[in-house]
Amino acid sequence: MSITILGIESSCDDTSAAVIRDEYLLSNVMSNQDVHMKYGGVVPELASRAHQQNILPVVDRALKLAGVSLIDIDAIAFTRGPGLLGSLLVGTSFTKGLSIATGKPMVDVNHLQGHILSHFIKVPEKEINIQPAFPYLSLLVSGGHTQIVRVDSHSSFTVIGETIDDAVGEAFDKCAKIMGLGYPGGPVVDKLAKEGNKNAFKFAKPRVEGLNYSFSGVKTSLLYFLRDRVAENESFIEENKNDLCASFQSTLIEILMEKLVKASKITGINEITIAGGVSANSGLRDRVVLEGEERGWRTHIPEFRFTTDNAAMIAIAGYYKFLSGYKSSFDIVPVSRSMDYL
Ligand code: KG4
Ligand code: ZN
C-alpha cells in the first residue's frame, strides 16, 4: 500500500509545501520572502506575517501539482523546530486546523533531521536514485547550525561534532554584510568567489578540540582585516571583492573539511553526505567530491533545490516517522531551540 505525505515547512523565511508518495517527490512548492532583503536579515514579525499570507496558496499549489487531493493524503508532516517561533506557529497551527478538518494525522518533524534525510528523496524523472547507506556521516551546514552527525538509521542521529559559537552560514552572511553585498550572503559570496584567487588573503583558522567547530574568530579576523585595509584605501573592498570572497570562502571550507576528514577517520565511516543551505556552495561541493575521490569515500551531494529550506525534506522525514507508527498529539507545540535527535 502506498503512503502519501503532505509536508509543510515554515521555520524561517521560506514557506514551502511538498507531496511525497513512497519516497518519490510529486511536488515541492516554495514561496521566498523578498521583504527581508532591505533589512539585511530576516525580520521575525515580517516572516510570520508572510507565512500567514503564503501558506494556503502554497499548500493548495503543492496538492494540485502533485495531482492529489486531501483525501489521498495519509499524514501531514510539519516542521516543529528549531526556527523562529512565530514562523513555526503558523505552520503548526495551520497543520492542526487541516488535521482536525480532514481527520488526517499530524507528524511533527525536526527541521535538522529533515535536512539530514533529504538525500532519501527520490525524484521520479531520475532513472536511478542513489540513497546513502547506514551508517553515514552528515555534514549539516546551514544558517543556524554546523554539525557532524552520525546517522545509523532513519531515526537514529548522534551529533559527534558541532560549532561552539556561530554557524558557518552566519559566517557567510556576515562576510557579505561587512562587504556590503546584501542578504543572504552565501549565494553572492559563492558567485564572486568563482572569479577570485583563494590564495590572495589569509584569515586565521580556529583551534578547537575534537570534532567541534568555531566560526566567530574567522569572522572577526575578516572584520579587522577589512577595517585596517579600508583605513588605507577606501576602495579596498570594491577593488578586491572577488579575491576577498574566494579567500574567505576557502578558509571556511578548509575548516569544515578538516573536521569532516577527522570524523571519517575516527568513526571509520566512508559514507559521507552534506546537507543544509551551505551545502549549495559550489566550492564546498567540489571539495567534498575531490576529497572523497582521494579518500575512497562514497559521497552524496544533494540537488540544489534540497539544500536550502524546503518542504520535500520535511515530507520525507515525516514519511519515515509515520511508517514507524508515529503520530503527533493535538497538544504539540513548536520549539524554537535545537531539539535532541530522538
Ligand atoms: O538551510 P538554510 O536554508 O536555512 C537554515 O536552516 O538556516 O540555510 C541558509 C544558509 C544562509 O546562511 C545562506 O547564506 C546559506 O545557507 N547559503 C549558502 C549558499 N546558499 C545558501 N552559503 C554558501 N554558499 C551558497 N551557495
Ligand atoms: Zn534549514
Q: What is the pLDDT of residues 304-330, one digit of tens each?
A: 999 999 999 999 999 999 999 999 999
Q: Which residue has the higher pLDDT, 38 or 250?
A: 250
Same domain (yes/no): 86, 170:
no
H helical segments located in the chain: 44-66, 85-102, 111-117, 168-178, 185-193, 216-232, 236-267, 282-295, 311-323
Residue pair 280/185 in contact (Cβ under 8 Å)? The answer is no
Q: Is the pLDDT of residue 340 over 80?
A: no
Same domain (yes/no): 109, 150:
no
Instruction: Please indicate, yes or no, if residue 328 is contained in any of the structural domains.
Output: no
Threshold 0.75, pTM exceeds: yes
Query: Considering the chain, what percentage of its residues have pLDDT values greater than 90?
Result: 90
Which whole number is the average pLDDT over 102-120? 97
Q: Is the pLDDT of residue 341 over 60?
A: no
CA distance 77 to 27: 14
Q: Is the pLDDT of residue 158 over 60?
A: yes
DSSP 223-283: HHHHHHHHHH-TTHHHHHHHHHHHHHHHHHHHHHHHHHHHHHHHHT--EEEEESGGGG-HH
Dist. CA 185 → ligand 1 center (Å): 8
Instruction: Please indicate, yes or no, if residue 116 is contained in any of the structural domains.
Output: yes
Which CATH number is 153's domain given?
3.30.420.40
Query: Considering the chain, what percentage of its residues have pLDDT values greater than 70?
Result: 99
Is 278 a pocket residue for ligand 1 (Cβ < 6 Å)? yes
What is the pLDDT, as a whole number, of residue 38? 73
What is the pLDDT, as a whole number, of residue 183? 83
Instruction: Please indicate, yes or no, if residue 329 is contained in any of the structural domains.
Output: no
Instruction: Please indicate, yes or no, if residue 340 is contained in any of the structural domains.
Output: no
Q: Which residues on neighbouring strands pair with residue 314, listed in sequence order?
A: none
Dist. CA 141 → ligand 2 center (Å): 9
Amino acid in the structure at residue 268: G
What is the C-alpha R_g of the chain?
20
- Tell me the best of 112, 113, 140, 172 to mutate to test the pocket of ligand 1, counting ligand atoms within 8 Å of each CB and taking the most: 172
pLDDT band at 34 (very low <50, low <70, confident <90, very high): confident
Is 108 a pocket residue for ligand 1 (Cβ < 6 Å)? no
What is the pLDDT, as a whole number, of residue 324? 97
Same domain (yes/no): 149, 44:
no
Q: Is the pLDDT of residue 1 over 80?
A: yes
Number of domains into which the chain is organized: 2
* Cα 199–chain centre separation: 28
Range of the domain at 77: 4-123+306-323
What is the pLDDT, as a whole number, of residue 182? 86
Same domain (yes/no): 246, 311:
no
Q: Is the pLDDT of residue 35 over 80?
A: no
Same domain (yes/no): 259, 291:
yes
Give the list of residues 6+ apart from residue 206 with CB closer than 8 angstroms, or none: 213, 214, 215, 217, 218, 255
Same domain (yes/no): 267, 160:
yes
What is the pLDDT, as a whole number, of residue 339? 61
Same domain (yes/no): 43, 96:
yes
Instruction: Please indicate, yes or no, if residue 337 is contained in any of the structural domains.
Output: no
Q: Which atom of ligand 1 is nearest to the CA of 144?
A: 7
Is 114 a pocket residue for ligand 1 (Cβ < 6 Å)? no
- Tell me the best of 42, 140, 142 to mutate to test the pocket of ligand 1, counting ligand atoms within 8 Å of each CB and taking the most: 142
Residue 168: CB atoms within 10 Å: 28
What is the pLDDT, as a whole number, of residue 337? 84
Same domain (yes/no): 27, 158:
no
Instruction: Please indicate, yes or no, if residue 331 is contained in any of the structural domains.
Output: no
Dist. CA 169 → ligand 2 center (Å): 10
Per the listing, cell 502554497 goes with: 58
pLDDT band at 12 (very low <50, low <70, confident <90, very high): confident
Helix axes 168-178, 185-193, angle to 10 degrees: 70
Q: Which grid coordinates are listed for 297? A: 569515500
Which whole number is the average pLDDT over 179-195? 94
Is 81 a pocket residue for ligand 1 (Cβ < 6 Å)? no
Same domain (yes/no): 166, 280:
yes
Lay out the sheet containing 136-141: strands in order across: 156-162, 146-153, 136-141, 271-275, 298-300
Dist. CA 79 → ligand 2 center (Å): 10
What is the pLDDT, as a whole number, of residue 342? 39
